[in-house]
Amino acid sequence: MSRGLKTATVILAAVWLVAVVPADAKDKIKVGFIGPLTGGVSANGLGGRNSADLAVRLRNADAKAKYEYELVVLDDECKPNVAVQVATKMAAEKDIIAAATHYCSSTAIATVDVYHKFGLPVVVWGAVLPDITYRNKYAEVHRVNGTMINQNEANAELVTRLGYKTFAVIHDTTDYGKGHNEYFSAALAKLGGKIVGTFGVGADQQDFTAELTQIKALNPEVIYFGGLTPIGVRIRAQMDKLGIKAVFDGTSGIVSDAYIQGLGPLAEGTLAFREGAPVEKLPGGKVFMEKYTAQKYDNPPEAYGAFAYAAMDLILDSIEKVGPDRRKVIDDLAKVKNRDSIIGKITLDDHGQNTVSFITKYVVQDGKFVVWEDSEYASGKRKLPRQK
């Protein structure tokens, strides 16, 4: 190599270094997301995935951020056995510092031990079973959304206030549905409502005519449903086929655009309940929706998108503060108090549970989940089935 060429090479290398190094200065940090991306409730999983992705993208676009984040996404299919596998995979990968995990209660409860064993800090973004945070006292497990206890108390309170006295309960036989059955039945018993029949059903059952025929004979005023959108749609449609006139009283599991799309006009008058305020009423809800729309995702954020965003944002805040270290992130999350977020102030109690107690009541009116207090049903302009 001639001397001139050598010099040129050295200069070129120097230029290359100067040009490349500053752009690469931020360390790459991996964070995780787990939700149901395939299967019946994948609409909610995809909405949550997109929302968590949005949190990561916005952070990466922020010049002040110390690190560059990469989101690792895994699919739990809303099945506990699959969830344990993917949770183990994520927890075993030491590069992943923390994760926002699970929409389905059955998968969230199945995986808490895995996160505890591997010491991976997680923030649950959608599952509502109380046991997820309260059965054990695992420092690794946190949750930004509320639990089904508060939800079912609000539910029982509203339906008894409307004057309904007899109820039939249909619930899916996962931890989620069984939990709803338990807490709703307890809340209703305190208020004097009478449950005339309880039916456990498969989480992907197609035909409910046998159960509903029995319910028809029992003639309740309200059919309470503890389960998720896909079978909620089927049960509501088949109620109509059998000519059952009763209020369809659902849970947070059916608060999704898919429920209304699946039923059309039949969705009218369905009740549902969810922790926290609706997206458009959240402190940061409007900004969240604007940013979300700007990214042109294929699916809407659905009911728990804002929680997934908040969960991921909480994780990123902690990593920014204490650095990419699982142990330190866990310690930092333990100290979260009155932290501002798009879902309102977040305070995690000693079980890692966000102490939101606010429950929004919904009724479907003209193809939309309308907040009960703003609806024509509350004002008396419209009446629910068999309302006095």
Partner 1 sequence: MDIGLLAQYIMNGLMVGMMYALVAVGFTLFFGVLDIIQFSHGDVLTVGAFTALMTFLGVRAAGVGSGSILLLAMVIVAIFAVAALGMLIARYLVLPLRTAPALNTLLITLMLGTVLRESVRLFYPQGANPKPFPGLLPTNSINFGNFNLRLDNAIMLTAGTAVIVGVELLLNRTKLGLAIRAVAQDEETARTMGVNFTAIVLIAFAIGSALAAFAGIMNGLYYNEINFGMGLYLGIIGFAAAIIGGLGSIYGAILGGFLFAALQTIGTVALPFGSAYKDVFAFAVIIIFIAWRPTGLIQEKISERV
Which residues here bind partner 1, judged by CB under 8 A? 38-40, 42-43, 46, 173, 199-202, 204, 206-207, 209-211, 213-214, 216-217, 229-230, 233-234, 237-238, 241-243, 257-258, 261-264, 299
User: Counting beta carbons within 10 angstroms of the beta carbon of residue 3, is it exposed (0 to 12), middle (13 to 18) or buried (19 or more)?
Assistant: exposed
Which residue number, 178 or 328, has a Cβ lying nearer to partner 1? Answer: 178
The number of CA neighbours under 13 Å toward the Cβ of 127 is 37
DSSP string, 304-360: THHHHHHHHHHHHHHHHHH-S-HHHHHHHHTT--SB--TTS-B-B-TTSBB----EE
Local structure of residue 253 (DSSP, 8 states): G
> What is the smallest separation between the CB atom of 66 and partner 1, expressed in angstroms?
37
> What is the smallest separation between the CB atom of 189 and partner 1, expressed in angstroms?
19
Which residue number, 197 or 323, has a Cβ lying nearer to partner 1? Answer: 197
> What is the smallest separation between the CB atom of 258 and partner 1, expressed in angstroms?
4
Cα–Cα separations (whole angstroms), residue 310 to 131, 154, 158, 290 = 21, 24, 29, 15
Which residue number, 88 or 198, has a Cβ lying nearer to partner 1? Answer: 198
Give me Rg for the CA atoms of the chain. Answer: 24
Residue 307 CB contacts under 8 Å (≥ 6 apart), including other chains? 48, 125, 126, 144, 145, 276, 343
Strand pairing partners for 249?
A: 224, 271
> What is the smallest separation between the CB atom of 210 and partner 1, expressed in angstroms?
4
Which residue number, 39 or 283, has a Cβ lying nearer to partner 1? Answer: 39
> What is the smallest separation between the CB atom of 159 and partner 1, expressed in angstroms?
22
Local structure of residue 236 (DSSP, 8 states): H
> What is the smallest separation between the CB atom of 241 and partner 1, expressed in angstroms?
7
> What is the smallest separation between the CB atom of 132 and partner 1, expressed in angstroms?
23
Cα–chain center distance at 39: 16
> What is the smallest separation between the CB atom of 171 and partner 1, expressed in angstroms?
9
> What is the smallest separation between the CB atom of 151 and partner 1, expressed in angstroms?
23
> What is the smallest separation between the CB atom of 138 and partner 1, expressed in angstroms?
30
Which two tokens mark 206?
């197609």
Which residue number, 160 or 181, has a Cβ lying nearer to partner 1? Answer: 181
Secondary structure of residue 93 in the 3-state scheme: coil
Which two tokens mark 311?
């969960």
CB 123 within 8 A of CB 103: no
Phi/psi for 143 (5° steps) reads -150, 130
CB 257 within 8 A of CB 227: no
Which residue number, 139 or 223, has a Cβ lying nearer to partner 1? Answer: 223
The residue among 146, 147, 142 whose CA lies nearest residue 344 is 146
The residue among 313, 332, 316 whose CA lies nearest residue 69 is 316
Which residue number, 222 or 239, has a Cβ lying nearer to partner 1? Answer: 239
Which residue number, 206 or 379, has a Cβ lying nearer to partner 1? Answer: 206
